[in-house]
Amino acid sequence: MYAPTSTNSPRSGPNSDDKDGLRDFEGAAEILRAWGNGIRPDPDLTVSEWADRHRMLASRASAEPGRYRTMRTPYMREIMDRLSPGDAAQRIVFMKAAQVGATEAGNNWIGFAIHQAPGPMLAVQPTVELAKRNSRQRIDPLIDESPELRERVKPARSRDAGNTMLSKEFAGGILIMTGANSAVGLRSTPARYIFLDEVDAYPASADEEGDPVTLAEARSLTFAHRRKVFLVSTPTVRGLSRIEREFEASDQRRYFVPCPHCGAMQWMKFDRLRWQKGKPETAEYLCESCDQPIAEHHKTAMLGRGEWRATAVAADPTTVGYHLSALYSPVGWLSWSRIVRSWEAAQGSDEAIKAFRNTILGETWVETGEAPDWQRLYDRREAWRPGTVPAGGLFLTAGADVQKDRIEVDVWAWGRGLESWLVDHVVLEGGPDRHDAWDQLTELLDRSWPHENGAHLRIARLAIDTGYEAPAVYAWSRKVGFAQVAPVKGLEGFNRSSPVSGPTFVDATEGGKRLRRGARLWTVAVSTFKAETYRFLRLERPTAEERDEGAAFPPGTIHLPTWVESEWLKQVVAEQLVTVRTKRGFAKLEWQKLRERNEALDCRVYARAAAWIAGADRWPEEKWRDLEDQLGATPTDSDPAGQIHRPGQITQGKRRSDWIGRREGWF
């Protein structure tokens, strides 16, 4: 039988109770401490708690570097916490103004998932290029500035790190970043977490394979109730906006804040702001309960005591929706006075007001595409001397529509606030295969129209459509030069960042030979300018008595002369904006013809695009004054009325800092 030959002797010191001798070596305490930390469960944190404890904002990625503080944007607390695994919500929708902290909240969620609840995550930007930029400017600093994340995501320079521009591997999960324009990226892997940022900027279809949001969300279905989908965006156009559609299907939560005077809870609306006209710095918010003005310095306390309240019943109980305008922007960010200043600056420009509604109020823009009655337009025609430019017109543009057997051109005069007058309608017989038609169009560029004040104006810019016989249009444009001519291509859709973009170089052919960088092409969002034209045509006008008392026409007013015929009027209102459903059931705004011929509307759109290209939408007050001064100057012997000025010529008269009209050769 086995018998022990020795016995354990008692030990002295701090390890005297270690009967198995497991601590009797150097470094044992450190090993046991690490082992204890390893088996200890992570704190049960929400996303906002994690961000306050672990998130650091880098100076290259934030205007307020340092530790992240949810109290700075308290309205984001509930939204972030809904993204926590312990919350029952599966889809969180956030329709918001620009720059209210939504993207940083999404990045907090990414950091939380890497550290606390690892799993596969998909983050989608509108394009792959934006996804790469977001990775460099947002995700890399997120990881680099947080030690808890840095130790879980290996540096990109390490071997087999699994850390690339669009992929970040970590224990228990992976972050895939892609663009909504890449169907391959959207279907690459199952994902428990999906972050869809700026969904209203997504294309209608990803590589012609379907709606990017639908494709992305399909990646999460295998995770059932454990999935989380965060949809975030600034809205765009009513009827097209994805984020508005999702918000309206949710419980539509608004952030209610207390009045500092009476304590009444209310959600903030732009029409409750009050200020003295022309003095944005006097902006105050009027309580809807006690009608007392609220100064902006109260906002910090109001936000801290605010709460989200549902204002509707969600179609899906697992979806919650939030809306927030820039009125809630924390003190030090976007102030009420700056909001008022932006609103006043936007007056007279539909595009500026649209941007204000989208980016400041976080609301959609309503495109009104109902065709005006042509007979009403006929009755509102105005009499001025045929072939002349009325006093308010300060420069000319033209729009040319190329048809099989003719080229139609409309010449428009433009004034302040984009007020416009139809000056001439020209039909050049012969299609693009006729040299004499192009010769006549060239002669039109050199023609001048007398101004009511005595000067003569030439066409500042002519925009010509390339939809029919584009090579012939490119060849002519290249021949006469792109300083005065802009070949344009119309594109449908309202979700474009600018109504006109370009120019881009396109190949052209001349005598069968392809010319690289042969033409400069501008792309035009024709839907935007058609809707604008109809809005301008419907503007109410002051009566004759009101005009006698000094009342002015509203900005954008379109003046039509008595010589214009009913056929032209029918053409300018020949289309109507309707909402149609795609095969997948999504709403789409589409222009449809009410009659076959619509050349007048097309020419108006191209002439409007030419005004945009010339810069009229962006000119400061000084340039408008320059044009007025030049046209009001008395002609001298060296500058007789009717002389056509070429670029670079400066005539005698009152000089200002920028002689834009004469410098460009417009008159």
pLDDT band at 16 (very low <50, low <70, confident <90, very high): very low
Cα 575 to the chain's mean position, in Å? 26
Assigned token pair, 180: 């909504």
Q: In sequence order, what DSSP letters do the residues of 476-530 get, joined into one string?
A: HHHHH-TTTEEEEEEE--S--SSSEEEEEEEEEEETTEEEEEEEEEEEEEHHHHH
Kindly provide the b/e burial profile for residues 129-159, where b requires at least 16 CB atoms within 10 angstroms of the residue's own CB: ebbbebbeebbbbbbbbbeebeebbbeeeee
Average pLDDT of every residue of the chain: 84
Residue 395, beta-bridge partner list: 414
Out of 452-466, 550-564, 633-647, which region has the weakest mean confidence (pLDDT)?
A: 633-647
At residue 501, the pLDDT reads: 85
At residue 585, the pLDDT reads: 59
Q: In sequence order, what DSSP letters do the residues of 126-195 get, joined into one string?
A: SSHHHHHHHIIIIIHHHHHT-HHHHTTS--TTSTT--EETTEEEETTEEEEEEETT-HHHHTSS--SEEE
At residue 505, the pLDDT reads: 78
Per-residue CA distances from 171 to 88, 119, 142, 168 (Å): 25, 9, 17, 10
Smallest Cα–Cα separation from 445: which of 418, 415, 407? 407
Task: Give residues with Cβ within 8 angstroms of 12, minimum separation 6.
Answer: none
Considering only the C-alpha atoms of the chain, give the largest distance between any 2 of them, rounded to a whole number of Å.
136
pTM of the predicted model as reported, rounded to 2 decimal places = 0.65
Higher pLDDT, 493 or 334: 334
Per-residue CA distances from 614 to 75, 404, 659 (Å): 43, 28, 14
Interval 155-200: pLDDT, tens? 766 555 568 889 999 988 999 999 998 888 887 789 999 999 999 9
Q: Which structural domains are found in the chain, ordered by start?
A: 47-361 (3.40.50.300), 374-624 (3.30.420.240)
At residue 387, the pLDDT reads: 84
Count of CB atoms situated within 10 Å of the CB of 262? 11
CA angle, corner 164, sides to 159 and 169, nearest 5? Answer: 80
Assigned token pair, 224: 């059932």
Whether the upstream peptide bond of residue 471 has omega within 30° of 0, thus cis, is no
Q: How far apart are CA 305 and CA 54, in angstroms?
A: 24
Question: Which pairing describes strands 273-276 and 279-286: parallel, antiparallel, or unpaired?
Answer: antiparallel
pLDDT band at 1 (very low <50, low <70, confident <90, very high): very low
Is the pLDDT at 567 greater than 50? The verdict is yes
Is the pLDDT at 223 greater than 70? The verdict is yes
Smallest Cα–Cα separation from 397: which of 455, 459, 449, 452? 459
Please compute the mean of the pLDDT values over residues 330-349 and round it to a whole number. Answer: 90
